[in-house]
Amino acid sequence: MKIVVTGATKGIGRAVTEVFAKNGFDIAICARDESDLEKLEGQLKYKFSNIEVIALAADMSIKADVLRFAETIKAKWETADVLVNNAGMFLPGNVTTEPDGTLEKLIETNLYSAYYLSREILPLLQANDRGHIFNISSVAGTKAYPNGGSYSISKFAMTGLSKALREELKSQNVRVTTVIPGAVLTASWEGVDLPKERFIDVEDLAQLIYDCYKVSYRTVVEDLVVRPMLGDL
């Protein structure tokens, strides 16, 4: 069993990586920070000595890096089981006042990375006769909110990508799940003066993603919506 995870060194990506590694999956991971990636690679190999780990420093907002990551994987693996398009960033602002270039940066990071990598990794999923793509979106991709700006636009687009892939791939036994979390307790919220009870636990979200993968292939969770118990922030 093999899984590809982008943005794997922090937050949701790291938690997902660890849950699947614990369950015996070989892992292919990327992140922008090479030192963080090397540290995670070492930890995975130490804790889970029975799995293979492919790690490559890559900025997923850059198409050439996306393709280089994919080629590295395809050079070593003939099949894959799961792709988690998690790489992304949040820049606050309003559409009418945010700095010029914000939309382009967020679309490149939050959408194009998933678009290009899905196209590249799909043949590995198809070669396995079944597969599962998880696209990490956000509640901001279902309802706009103040100061969401281009981030919200990019996540609405991610949701659209998932819906298109779902229709195209269902006859090929490749499942597509849009993961739609509210506020998750990750580094993005550092410095915010709110109790942890107001956030989703990242390990809970990772386990839910694994559980979606484990259901029988007669079933697909199309949209996994997860919110803090007390509601959105």
Residues with a known catalytic role: 151
Give me the residues paired with residue 200 across strands. Answer: 184
Task: Please write down the long-range contacts of 101-109, taking CB distance under 8 Å and 24 or more positions apart.
Answer: 102/149, 102/150, 103/150, 103/153, 103/154, 105/61, 106/150, 106/151, 106/153, 106/154, 107/150, 107/153, 107/154, 107/157, 108/61, 108/62, 109/60, 109/61, 109/154
Other C-beta atoms within 10 Å of 229: how many? 8
Residue linked to tokens 């990327």: 30
In 153-176, which positions are buried (b, 16+ CB within 10 angstroms) versus exposed (e)? bbbbbbbebbeebbeebeeeebbb
Give me the residues paired with residue 4 across strands. Answer: 28, 83
